[in-house]
Amino acid sequence: METKATIDVVHSTSPKQTEHLAQDLAKSLKGGEVVALFGDLGVGKTTFIQGLARGLGIKRRITSPTFIMIRPYSTKINNRPVTFYHVDLYRTRPDDLSQLGLEEIFGPDSVVAIEWPGKIKKFLPPKRIDVKIESLDFETRRITIKHK
């Protein structure tokens, strides 16, 4: 039986509010999720990921892994060890993708958040959470969260 996608659309008027929205999403995660973040450069994808990490209990500073592509963080969900992976594919080329080993990090003991997921469409699992962030003006963002 196929499950129906659920879609939430919210507006954020500050980076802090974007982080809080992501923290709320993190509270629903159990492990095994892939969160694909779509949006233009500078729209707030990394800010959203920082909120996800905080919501998962990660205290370390979260910076974009633009040049190393994947940065892992250890955490726990319901007292179970989980690795939170922050993936940034902005600087990748198609020939880099086969060497990333993304299939190895998709699993029940991880939560994977991917910036620029459009570069790996064929590798993305069909069951995932798509987050689309759009700039409406200098401060306001429309954030669409689709659970597939």
Q: Express each pLDDT in 103-133 by its tens digit.
A: 789 999 999 999 999 988 888 899 999 999 9
* Burial of residue 56 (number of CB atoms within 10 Å: 0-12, 13-18, 19+): buried
Question: Please, what CATH class does the domain formed by 12-147 belong to?
Answer: alpha beta
Quick one: pLDDT at residue 5? 76
Give the whole-angstrom CA distance, residue 129 versus residue 102.
16
Banded model confidence at residue 59, pLDDT cuts 50, 70, 90: very high
Dihedral angle sign, alpha carbons of residues 73, 77, 79, 83: negative
Banded model confidence at residue 3, pLDDT cuts 50, 70, 90: low
Tokens of 30: 């159990």
* Burial of residue 18 (number of CB atoms within 10 Å: 0-12, 13-18, 19+): buried
Write down the domain spans for the chain: 12-147
